[in-house]
């Protein structure tokens, strides 16, 4: 990509730069940030996801967009959370008692001011409010998109377990502000060797890791499809628009 001439100083600086970011770990973090989740969803999984989104999202689309705006979120991220939680099934219920489209616990529903978890709009509102709260609780020192990934993990396993995992990450000599490092510590919360010294104890820490990676995959598909629709929209008929403008 560089000019093939006698002055190769720019090339040497580029080599030096890539050596530096490889040694300090930034290159690995950049690759993870962009591609760390791409193997989670195979071709068939992508087809199934698109089919179910096409069938189920129209009934809730306006609600997702409404509460995403209200809480300053990307509506596609909110949809991805809803799909991961319930496959956009408003009647979903787990053996542990969480239920509804956003799979809220009874306590979370109460804390978010939601009276009926089974009502789709109430569930989406509660889920949006809860995710926005988790995002706000993540320390300001953590930059995006790591902040969002940790907020998603908090939505799944709880903010304090993520905080414990960050402490473990630091003890391991890794960066507690980087998702690529924290996600290797979360599964350790299931091992007594590690969780016995944490404040909030045992957690099935592998679950939020999978949870975040799945949502990242769903979000990427939704974003790509949404961008493709915008790019292929027909141009407006200027001759029908001009009279009203003039």
Res 202 pLDDT > 90: yes
Tens of pLDDT, residue by residue over 54-110, are: 999 999 999 999 999 999 999 999 999 999 999 999 999 988 889 999 999 999 999
- What local confidence, expressed as pLDDT, does residue 40 receive? 59
- What local confidence, expressed as pLDDT, does residue 243 receive? 35
Question: Are 162 and 182 a contacting pair, CB within 8 Å?
Answer: yes
Question: Are 187 and 181 a contacting pair, CB within 8 Å?
Answer: no
Domains defined for the chain, CATH in brackets: 38-137 (1.10.530.10), 142-229 (no CATH)
Query: pLDDT confidence of 237, banded at 50, 70, 90?
Result: very low
Lowest mean pLDDT among 10-14, 17-21, 53-57, 235-239: 235-239
Tens of pLDDT, residue by residue over 167-177, are: 999 999 999 99
What's the whole-number average pLDDT of the chain? 87
Specify which residues 93 forms β-bridges with. Answer: 99
85 is a catalytic site residue: yes
Buried b (16+ CB within 10 A) or exposed e, 203-228: bebeebbebbbbbbbbbbbbeeeeee
Question: Are 71 and 129 a contacting pair, CB within 8 Å?
Answer: yes
Q: How far apart are CA 190 and CA 199, in angstroms?
A: 14
- What local confidence, expressed as pLDDT, does residue 235 receive? 47
What would the mean pLDDT of 12-16 be, rounded to a whole number? Answer: 85
The structure's pTM equals: 0.78
- What local confidence, expressed as pLDDT, does residue 33 receive? 57
Sign, Cα dihedral of 178, 180, 184, 186: positive
What would the mean pLDDT of 123-144 be, rounded to a whole number? Answer: 97
- What local confidence, expressed as pLDDT, does residue 6 receive? 80
Query: pLDDT confidence of 239, banded at 50, 70, 90?
Result: very low
Selecting among 26, 85, 121, 230, the annotated active-site residue is 85
Alpha-carbon distance values, 193 to 149, 198, 202 (Å): 26, 10, 10
């Amino acid at each position: 990509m560089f000019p093939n001439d006698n002055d190769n100083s720019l090339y040497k600086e580029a080599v030096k730069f890539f050596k530096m970011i490889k040694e300090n770990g930034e290159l690995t973090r950049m690759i993870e940030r962009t591609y760390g989740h791409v193997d989670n969803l195979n071709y068939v999984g992508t087809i199934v996801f698109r089919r179910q989104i096409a069938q189920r999202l129209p009934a809730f689309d306006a609600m997702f967009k409404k509460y995403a705006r209200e809480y300053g979120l990307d509506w596609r991220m909110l949809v991805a959370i809803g799909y991961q939680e319930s496959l956009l099934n408003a009647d979903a219920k787990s053996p542990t008692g969480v239920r509804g489209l956003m799979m809220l616990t009874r306590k979370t529903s109460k804390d978010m001011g939601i009276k009926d978890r089974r009502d789709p709009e109430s569930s989406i509102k509660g889920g949006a409010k809860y995710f926005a709260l988790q995002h706000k609780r993540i320390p300001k020192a953590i930059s995006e998109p790591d902040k969002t990934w940790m907020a998603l993990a908090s939505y799944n396993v709880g903010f304090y377990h993520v905080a414990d995992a960050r402490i473990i990450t630091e003890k391991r000599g890794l960066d507690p502000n980087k998702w690529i490092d924290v996600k290797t510590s979360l599964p350790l919360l299931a091992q007594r060797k590690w969780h016995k010294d944490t404040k909030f104890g045992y957690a099935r820490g592998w679950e939020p890791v999978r949870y975040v990676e799945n949502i990242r995959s769903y979000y990427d598909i939704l974003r790509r499809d949404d961008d493709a629709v915008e790019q292929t929209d027909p141009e407006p008929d200027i001759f029908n628009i001009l009279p009203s403008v003039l």
